[in-house]
Structure 1
């Protein structure tokens, strides 16, 4: 039998399972794999569901298998670095064939941990930072190879390696992954090896730009009223997310507009699921309007992709391509300045495509132009001041200045932005602040680890006595990007 599963193939059963809440976590059913051909399961379900005494959970458990979340229990708490070294092996998975919704990948990979038992795109870059410190170069190369395989076969790296994520990606970090491997091995041939992959990923993000008129958007591309091309996050589907099915349906009941589900999914492509950053009223998820926003982070990352394509073209003496990508990077650099720099608040903000002005949300993605060296000295100075005054707390950098109950808002501190913050400060000579970011967050990680024996997905930056909260599911242990960033920061 074919081992792959697409949720729409079992939609009637899936809908019943998720609405009945027979599992505590909506992700459980999306990760199930069928024990019999799907057509056979569907037929059995249709025949049996109206029978007296039909037990839905019993039916599901007898027709599907499940890999549960893993918790790593230790009899003793090891020193944190030793614990992480052990975790690399415990978080390693393979998927040489498709199984249920899990996509096949050619190489072993590291999963985040907890309920996340698949390969995640942008997580993997921050995992690679730690693998670099641990000297696990082969695993770094495996991650790059898996991303390349997905780009070559799916056209992009999905949010995570499951069939129901084939409608969206995540922040495009592939070119930065190549930088990391080149930096580790000293070999620039990697850019040539993956040149075609870089081009293919670029085509995915720019798809549709040629058809756009001014002041309109398609997929991940927007053309401003002045005819400039910017990018945004997007998802090809406009239906509830299988992994958060009931939550989406309930939130959607009071939402305005017919693109609610696509707006929800598009925010997931950013990795920030969820934050007041996406909300029209700055407060409630029902007003989510991701599609109306061009984001500073994705545009900075695509500048890096263009710059990398210019470099990989130069290495192969592809002069025409080198000039093309060099020009695209130069144009985008100018647009990052024009559209994302907010002169009033002296920081970088997202751009509202319909209102033709910066959005109100103050958020930590303002670090990207500093992380990638795109800010002028004057701009950097202003951002550094804002970071120190509004974002740095006792337990690390928070993501926004607003407390909404969403997990990507105050008071949570997430690993990726501790690294971006540290590196950004170093780039512009704010070494003291870089040290403070590193020490505040690392000591928070160490405190929680000594109390619980676990490394968490996110941390509370304000109340350094508790762990962290908010969001659609409990805080997870494992945890890939925390392990990676912690090791990398401690090495610097």
Structure 2
């Protein structure tokens, strides 16, 4: 039934009656009568009952431009409703363009502010430089600066007081910037590993242009900035994030390989090789003496994108030694007036932890750069096997790039070499799992983590290893709301701030990869159990809290109410969730594929 309403009058009446806490949302915490009668201009009436339907009404009123409502969207069952919002609203809300219309929005950055705004463009992309000089000409408070091809420590230090956005690809046909999708909330930049999981959701919804644009922008970063960046801000130029560019390329080609020319595939294969060799197999930074790789965030001192006070717990130890308050010590340390090699080294590990994407976790605290990690080497095994498969499929088994030959056999040999090294250094026979290897102490670091199951996602486990890892790790990680990031953390032995990538918190990327890994090795029942636990928590939150979808959850309490470190992006909004959260949106879409019809019906029944 189509309803034609006085939009503003209905919205005001609904909020006045049902939004008792003044949040401009309708949740289970509101104490209104939970019953609202909609009357349209033609005398039609609709009874709207319960938190869920009232919230749907509020969302549709807010989204409607002329007051026309479809009653089916108000009574829509939760699974269809969430899918509808992601497909028709959330991806659009999360899309950004560094063009004339979107310039000011994309430059906005809650993490760093300065008197002027800065836009950085690669010096070896003169067409982009000319474009951005033109569109910023009417804005005297915006400076366009160039990024040199070779990034030296001196250059990175020279721009620390001029934080800005890094330009991405301009389409050579349309001469307009290629759009990208941000994670959500306060973020206006494109993040490294988020983009892979967001891309999987875009592919699931057949958003071809956006999915391709994300991949184009990832490739642009590797080509012009040397790596797929933590995010396209100037203070991220010194570090990457987990290398999902190649897995994304394969996922994209699996879906759309017949829609792109062979020359395009060839170029992206070459860029994948550049990233693999120049970043992750670089012995000066990421390749360790074991033959396995590590995370290694370059740069010096305190990561400058963090909020004021973020490091106070650690800095206070050193401030006390110098008889200074924390702010004064921080100022003198940042300026180089105070030299603390021990603290310098601690920040090497902290920046490396941020490159891992797991910022922050007790697992990596003060040690990350010393670890050949299970997760990173699992991803690189997947990169190598994906490159082999793509070379076979599109290049007839032979590929030449920059004068060097890369047959598919080369990549299979690299993958097998890595698998054997993972067996030698990371596999723990007694515990039946993989652990990170500390290259300084020459021993494993036993730590129960969701990352311990990533060799299954990568296909790097033997059937027996998979069996033992599932038996040893899954019971410690799977909670009533899904997979926790780690096993329980003993706060008596781990003082300091609560870490958002520790238990009891769970995140979408771990869910997605562990589901896929379990299914790959035939553990379909366990994959279904884990997916159902996560989706039940997500759907309940959406039903009870006005459609809410956040970046992370407390999987023990099955709650979105998380205050660890940075709070919970996506938890605060008015009327309609502001895009949900990218990879959590994807986890909902992909998780449905693991559920039975009965489980889906149970989730729909959460609406009452």
Residues 149 and 186 from structure 1, CA distance in 2 versus in 1: closer, same or farther, beyond 3 angstroms?
A: closer
SS of 1:470's equivalent in the other structure is coil
Root mean square deviation, CA, Å: 2.2
Cα deviation 1:135-174 (Å, max 9, x = unaligned)? 1122111111000111110111110111110000000001
Mapped partners of 1:402, 1:359: distance in 2: 16
Mapped partners of 1:192, 1:307: distance in 2: 17
Q: Which residue number corresponds to residue 103 of structure 1?
A: 166
Match of 1:291 among 369, 379, 382: 369
Match of 1:194 among 268, 272, 278: 268
Match of 1:243 among 289, 292, 305: 305
Contact 1:273 1:408 in 2 (8 A): yes
Match of 1:446 among 517, 521, 539: 539
Q: Which residue number corresponds to residue 464 of structure 1?
A: 558
Match of 1:252 among 308, 315, 333: 315
Mapped partners of 1:87, 1:118: distance in 2: 16
Q: Which residue number corresponds to residue 94 of structure 2?
A: 91
Q: Which residue number corresponds to residue 429 of structure 1?
A: 522
Contact 1:144 1:178 in 2 (8 A): yes
Contact 1:114 1:479 in 2 (8 A): yes
Residues 307 and 386 from structure 1, CA distance in 2 versus in 1: closer, same or farther, beyond 3 angstroms?
A: same
Q: How much has 1:185 moved relative to structure 2?
A: 1.9
Q: Which residue number corresponds to residue 367 of structure 1?
A: 453
Q: TM-score, normalised by structure 1?
A: 0.77
Mapped partners of 1:365, 1:273: distance in 2: 14
Q: How much has 1:349 moved relative to structure 2?
A: 1.1
Cα deviation 1:358-415 (Å, max 9, x = unaligned)? 1021101112110111111111111111343111111000010133521001111100
Cα deviation 1:246-305 (Å, max 9, x = unaligned)? 3355223427543122211110000000111113xxxxxxxx111111111111212222
Match of 1:270 among 342, 356, 364: 356
Residues 343 and 467 from structure 1, CA distance in 2 versus in 1: closer, same or farther, beyond 3 angstroms?
A: same
Written as runs of structure 1 = structure 2, the 5 A alignment for 1:302-341 is: 302-314=380-392, 315-316=394-395, 317-318=398-399, 320-322=405-407, 323-341=409-427
Cα deviation 1:313-332 (Å, max 9, x = unaligned)? 55432384224433222211
Mapped partners of 1:305, 1:145: distance in 2: 18
Q: Which runs of 5 or more residues in structure 1 are unaligned?
A: 1-72, 210-217, 280-287
Contact 1:206 1:220 in 2 (8 A): yes
Match of 1:412 among 478, 494, 505: 505
Q: Which residue number corresponds to residue 588 of structure 2?
A: 486
Mapped partners of 1:464, 1:249: distance in 2: 29
Mapped partners of 1:132, 1:223: distance in 2: 38
Which of 183-192 and 197-206 deviates more? Answer: 183-192
Mapped partners of 1:184, 1:451: distance in 2: 35
Mapped partners of 1:108, 1:476: distance in 2: 21
Match of 1:157 among 228, 243, 249: 228
Q: Which residue number corresponds to residue 329 of structure 2?
A: none
Q: How much has 1:466 moved relative to structure 2?
A: 5.3
> Which structure's CA Rg is the greater one?
2
Which of 334-343 and 302-311 deviates more? Answer: 302-311
Mapped partners of 1:173, 1:360: distance in 2: 25
SS of 2:590's equivalent in the other structure is helix
Match of 2:285 among 206, 213, 219: 219
Q: TM-score, normalised by structure 2?
A: 0.62
Q: Which residue number corresponds to residue 328 of structure 2?
A: none
Q: How much has 1:484 moved relative to structure 2?
A: 1.1
Q: Which residue number corresponds to residue 200 of structure 2?
A: 129
Mapped partners of 1:431, 1:207: distance in 2: 35
Mapped partners of 2:455, 2:310: distance in 1: 33
Q: How much has 1:206 moved relative to structure 2?
A: 3.9
Contact 1:248 1:261 in 2 (8 A): no
Mapped partners of 2:271, 2:430: distance in 1: 40
Written as runs of structure 1 = structure 2, the 5 A alignment for 1:45-60 is: none
Question: Is 2:465 the partner of 1:376?
Answer: no
SS of 2:446's equivalent in the other structure is coil
